[in-house]
A = this chain, B = another copy of it.
Amino acid sequence: MLTETESQQRVLRLQEMLREKGVHAALLIMPIDVFYFTGTRQNAILLIPADGDPVMLVRKSLSRARAESPIADIRPFCSSKEFASVFSHDLVSIGLTYDAVPVQQQSFYTRALPGRSFVDISMMVRELRSVKSPFEVELVRQSAAGLASVLADVPNFLKAGMREIDLAAEMEYRLRKAGHEGYVRMRAFNQEIFYGLAVSSGGVNGGFFDGPVTGKGLSSAAPHGASTDVIRVNEPVLLDYVGVFNGYMADMSRIFVIGKLDPELQQAFDLALDIQEMVRQAMKPGVICEELFLDAASMAEKGGFGSCFMGMPGEQAKFVGHGVGLELDELPVLAKGFAVPLQAGQVIAVEPKFVIAGKGVIGIENTFVVTEEGGLRMSDLPDAIVFLEA
C-alpha cells in the first residue's frame, strides 16, 4: 500500500522536473504511471500541476480508487464539457507520455482542453520512475525472493523428456501459488512477454523480442518462450523469469543441465559470470550506462564469444542490462547510445547471455540496485549452473 508520504515525494519530484522544463502540468493517463503516483490501478487519470495538488479523475472504480489511494482529491470522471474546468487557465503547457499514449487518447484530451499546448513528457516520467525509493527496492527484493524460491525448487520438477511448455507450466504454477500477479507489463511499442522463458533447444531461434533470447514459442501468434520441443540430456535449459509481486518486478535467469555440458558452453557461462561481476562492481552513481555495455561487449569479444553475445549473429541485442520496476523495460538501459550516468537507487537486471547456434543458450541474470558500493544483489540465489543426474 502506497503511503501518503511516499506518494507526495513522487509528486514533488515530478513537479520539480516539470518546473525545470517549463511544463505547467502533467496529465498522466497510462495506468501504470497513474499507479506510481496514486497507488491504485483503476480506470483513472491524474493531473499533476507544476504547483499545487494533484487531482485524480476516476471512470471505474471510484470507490476502489478512494479506498486504495492516499491522493486527497479523487473525483468521478467528468464529461468532456466539464473537463476544462478541472484545469486552471494558467496551465497552458500540458505534458502527456507520447511514447505509450494512443493517438485517439491524445485527440480526446486536446479537444477537451482547447487553447492549451501539449508536450511529450515520456522521458521525464520514465527517468523519475527509474530511481527507486527504499520502499520500492524492498518490493523488488520481495519479488526476487518469490522468484528465487521457485527457481531453487527446479531440481524437483525438471526431467528429461518433458516439453519446454511442461517446464513452463510447472514454473508458473508454483509462481502463481506464491502470489505472482501474472501481468509482466512492458512499455515499448510492439513488445510483450508472458512470464518469461523456459527454453532448451527452442531458445536458439530468432524473434521479435528485444532481448538476447526469444524462444520458439507455441505458434506464429505466440512466437516467444516455451515450445513443445522436448528437453533432452546434456543441453542447457534456460529459465529466464520475471517475478511480479505487488506490481514490482525482479528479473532472473538460471541454467540447468540434466547430465553434462559441452565445454564450450561452460566456458561461455564462466565468461557471462565474469561480465556480470565486472558490471556489478561498476554499477555506481555517475558511471555512464553505455560504457558498461561496451566493456561487456569487449570482454565477450576477448573471450572469443563476441559474435554470439546477446543473441545470434545478425540479431544481437545492443545492451547488457535494463531497468526494471513496475515495467520490465524501464530506464536506464546499459546499452549502446545510452550515454547517461547511473543514479543511486536505479534497479537494473544485468543479463550477459550467449546464443550459440547448434548448442544452446547460456548466461546469467540478476537484478541489482545501483549504490555507491556498486550493484547490490536483490537475491542470494547461487549463480552456478545446476547439474541434475541424467
Which chain A residues numbered 152 to 207 have a C-beta less than 8 Å away from chain B? 165-166, 168-170, 172-173, 176-177, 179, 181-183, 185, 189-190, 192, 194-195, 205-207
Return A191 CB to nearest CB of chain B, in Å. Answer: 8
- Residues of A in contact (CB 8 Å), total 71
User: In the docked arrangement, what's the CA distance between A189 and B68, Å?
Assistant: 22
A35 at the interface (CB under 8 A from B): yes
Q: Is A223 close to B, CB under 8 A? A: yes
Listed stretches A82-90, A104-112, A379-387; interface member: A104-112
- Quick one: which of A205, A208, A228, A326 has the most chain B CB within 10 A? A208
A75 contacts across to B, CB distance below 8 A: none
Interface of A, secondary structure class, is: loop
Bound together, the chains give a CA A247 to CA B194 distance in angstroms of 13
Report the minimal beta-carbon distance from A276 to chain B, rounded to whole angstroms: 25
Complex CA–CA separation, A381 to B166 (angstroms): 25
Which residues of the other chain, B, contact A39 by a CB distance below 8 angstroms? 220
User: A-side interface residues toward B, CB under 8 Å?
Assistant: 1-2, 29, 31, 35, 39-44, 59-61, 63-64, 68, 96, 98-107, 120, 122, 165-166, 168-170, 172-173, 176-177, 179, 181-183, 185, 189-190, 192, 194-195, 205-208, 210, 214, 217-223, 225, 228, 244-248, 315, 326
Would you call A190 and B98 a contact (CB within 8 A)? no
Contact between B42 and A223 (Cβ–Cβ < 8 Å)?
Answer: yes
Measured between C-beta atoms, what is the minimum distance from A169 to chain B in Å? 4
